C-alpha cells in the first residue's frame, strides 16, 4: 500500500497517528540540548513519505519574471552553502492543552511538536537571482512550494508564503539537517526552510517553486491552518474569510515537570525548565514565571544557546528557573516533597484562539523584541 515505504523511526518518539506518521519528541529530550537530534525531531506528515531517487531528482522553478529552469541536486549544491539555525513548530503544537479549554479538530499534540536544527542549503534569493529575478521590479506576491508527496487524487502537498517573507528572511532550500543529508521524514533531498513561519509552510520533499500573484491553492493553504472566532468549528468555517497562518505567536512551555509530579526541593528550590519561542524572528528577551497568579515573578535564566551565535531570533530559547516551592499556590505538601500543579506554576498571558491554532494554556509570560 501507500505506506509500504515509510522510513524506520526512533521508537522513543510519541506517536499521535501512524498512517500518515505523526509523532512528537518527549518533553525531557526537547530541553536536553539547544539542537534537537535528527532521530528525535518531531514528524508531521499529511501523506505517505515519497521515495526520491537523488539521481533523478529535479526541482522545477517557474513563474512571474524569471526564466524557467529545473535544477538537479548537484546543480543546487553548486550555489554558495548557507546555514540557518531555525526552530520549526507545528500550528497544532499543544493542542491537547487547548482541548481542555475547548475541543478542537486535529492531532492530540502535547508540547513536543517543535524542534530546532541547523539547516544548510541554497539561499532562495540566490537561486531566484540566477534566473533573472529582480526584487525591485518583480510583480509576484507569493512564493508557492509544492512537495513530491501526493494525496490519493495525486495532488501534491503545497503551501505558500508572501514574497516579502521569502526575501527579507533567510529562506533556504536545505539539503542538510544538523550536518547530515536531510532524513527522509524531514524532506529528503530538499526542504524549504522559511524561518519564523508556521511549520506547515516549510515544505518537505520540495519538487516545485512557483512565483505567483496568488497564494497556493492547495487544501493546506486554503482550507486548513487558519484561525477563527472561538464559536466557529471546523465544519462551519468560512475559509475565505480568514488569512492563512504565517508567523506564529510567542509561546513557552514547561518540559521537566508534569501535572501531579512529586518533586523534592534542592536547597529549598524546585527547578523548572522549558522552551520559549516566537515566530517572525522575535527573539525571546526574557521568560518570567509566576506561582501566585502574577503577584510576583521569577526571571528564568536562559540556557546556553547556539554557541556560534547564529541564533538571531529564528531559534528558540531554552530556560531554567529556580523557584521556592513554599510560595507555590495550591501545591500540596507531601512530607518534604511537593506535588506539582502546573496551573499554579504558570499564567495564561497569551490568549490566542483558532479552530486549528491553539489557545496556549500552560504558558509563561514571555517578553519579546522584534529584531528584524
262 by Cβ neighbours in 10 Å (0-12 / 13-18 / 19+) ranks as exposed
- Give the count of residues interacting with ligand MTE (CB under 6 A): 20
* Residue 204 or 273 having the CB closest to ligand MTE: 204
127 binds, among Mo ion, ligand MTE, none (CB under 5 to 8 A by kind): none
Per-position x/- string for 77-96, each x denoting binding to ligand MTE as judged by CB under 6 A, each - no binding: -----------x-x------
State the Cα–Cα distance between residues 322 and 306, nearest whole angstrom: 22
Would you say 39 and 24 are in contact if contact means Cβ atoms under 8 Å apart?
A: no
Q: Which stretch binds ligand MTE (CB under 6 A): 42-50, 58-66, 162-170, 244-252?
A: 42-50
Binding mask 132-171 for ligand MTE (x = CB under 6 A): ---------------x-x-------x--------------
Least distance (Å) from Mo ion to the CB of residue 44? 5
Give the Å distances, CA to CA, from 97 to 147, 170, 257, 264.
30, 32, 15, 26
In contact, 169 and 202? CB cutoff 8 Å: no
**Residue 159 within binding range of Mo ion, rule CB under 5 A:** no
Beta carbons of 26 and 12 less than 8 angstroms apart: yes
Examine residue 106 and tell whether it contacts ligand MTE (CB under 6 A). no
Considering the complex, what minimum distance in angstroms separates the CB of residue 247 from Mo ion?
Answer: 14
Q: 298 contacts which partner out of ligand MTE, Mo ion, none, CB within 5 to 8 A by kind?
A: none
Binding mask 204-223 for ligand MTE (x = CB under 6 A): xx------------------
Contact assessment for residue 303 and residue 318, using Cβ atoms and an 8 Å cutoff? yes
**Contact characters 40-59, Mo ion, x per CB under 5 A:** ----x---------------
| C-beta separation of 317 from 276 below 8 A | yes
- Stretch near ligand MTE under the rule CB under 6 A, chosen from 199-207, 231-239, 266-274, 355-363: 199-207
CA distance 112 to 367: 22
Would you state the cell numbers that stand for residue 113, as one nine-digit string?
A: 511538536
* Residue 45 makes contact with ligand MTE by CB under 6 A: yes
Query: Could you give the dihedral angle defined by the CA atoms of residues 205, 207, 209 and 213, in that order, rounded to the nearest 10 degrees?
Result: -100
Number of H helices, E strands in the chain: 7, 23
In angstroms, the CA 118 to CA 314 distance is: 11
- CA-to-CA dists, residue 253 to 42, 263, 336, 341, 363, angstroms: 16, 18, 26, 14, 6
With contacts defined by CB under 5 A, name the span among 64-72, 196-204, 231-239, 290-298 that binds Mo ion. Answer: 196-204
Cell of 141: 506576491
Candidates 44, 95, 142, 226: give the one binding ligand MTE (CB under 6 A).
44
Q: In the bound complex, what is the minimum distance in angstroms from residue 234's beta carbon to Mo ion?
A: 15
Q: Kindly tell me which of 300 and 356 has the beta carbon lying closer to ligand MTE.
A: 356
Should residue 289 be labelled a site residue for ligand MTE when binding is judged by CB under 6 A?
A: no
**Cβ neighbours of residue 213 closer than 8 Å, sequence gap 6 or more:** 64, 139, 140, 141, 142
Q: Does 199 bind ligand MTE (CB under 6 A)?
A: yes
202 binds, among ligand MTE, Mo ion, none (CB under 5 to 8 A by kind): ligand MTE
Q: Is 104 in the site for Mo ion (CB under 5 A)?
A: no
Amino acid at each position: 500500500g501507500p505506506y509500504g515505504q515509510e522510513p524506520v523511526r526512533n521508537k522513543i518518539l510519541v506517536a499521535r497517528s501512524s498512517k500518515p506518521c505523526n509523532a512528537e519528541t518527549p518533553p525531557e529530550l526537547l530541553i536536553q540540548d539547544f539542537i534537537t537530534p535528527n532521530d528525535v525531531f518531531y514528524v508531521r506528515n499529511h501523506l505517505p513519505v515519497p521515495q526520491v531517487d537523488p539521481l533523478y531528482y529535479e526541482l522545477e522553478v517557474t513563474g512571474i519574471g524569471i526564466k524557467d529552469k529545473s535544477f538537479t541536486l548537484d546543480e543546487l549544491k553548486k550555489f554558495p552553502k548557507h546555514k540557518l539555525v531555525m526552530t520549526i513548530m507545528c500550528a497544532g503544537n499543544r493542542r491537547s492543552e487547548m482541548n481542555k479549554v475547548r475541543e478542537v479538530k486535529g492531532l492530540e499534540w502535547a508540547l513536543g511538536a517543535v524542534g530546532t536544527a541547523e539547516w544548510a542549503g541554497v539561499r532562495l534569493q540566490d537561486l531566484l537571482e540566477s534566473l533573472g529575478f529582480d526584487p525591485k521590479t518583480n510583480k509576484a506576491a507569493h512564493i508557492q512550494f509544492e512537495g513530491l508527496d501526493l494525496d490519493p487524487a495525486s495532488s501534491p502537498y503545497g503551501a505558500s508564503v508572501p514574497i516579502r517573507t521569502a526575501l527579507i528572511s533567510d529562506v533556504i532550500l536545505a539539503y542538510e539537517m544538523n550536518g547530515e543529508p536531510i532524513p527522509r521524514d524531514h524532506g529528503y533531498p530538499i526542504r524549504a526552510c522559511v524561518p519564523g513561519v508556521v511549520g506547515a509552510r516549510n515544505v518537505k520533499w520540495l519538487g516545485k517553486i512557483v512565483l505567483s500573484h496568488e497564494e497556493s491553492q492547495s487544501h493546506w493553504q486554503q482550507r486548513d491552518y487558519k484561525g477563527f472566532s472561538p464559536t466557529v468549528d471546523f465544519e462551519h468555517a468560512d475559509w475565505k474569510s480568514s488569512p492563512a497562518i504565517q508567523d506564529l505567536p510567542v509561546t513557552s512551555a514547561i518540559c521537566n515537570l508534569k501535572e501531579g509530579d512529586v518533586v523534592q526541593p534542592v536547597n529549598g528550590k524546585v527547578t523548572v525548565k522549558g522552551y520559549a519561542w516566537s515566530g517572525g524572528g522575535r527573539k525571546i528577551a526574557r521568560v518570567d514565571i509566576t506561582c501566585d497568579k502574577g503577584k510576583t515573578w521569577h526571571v528564568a535564566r536562559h540556557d546556553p544557546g547556539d554557541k556560534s551565535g547564529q541564533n538571531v531570533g529564528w531559534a528558540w530559547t531554552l530556560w531554567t528557573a529556580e523557584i521556592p516551592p513554599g510560595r507555590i499556590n495550591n501545591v500540596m505538601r507531601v512530607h518534604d516533597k511537593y506535588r506539582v500543579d502546573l496551573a499554579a506554576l504558570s499564567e495564561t498571558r497569551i490568549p490566542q484562539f483558532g479552530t486549528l491554532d491553539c489557545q496556549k494554556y500552560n504558558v509563561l509570560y514571555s517578553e519579546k523584541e522584534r529584531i528584524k
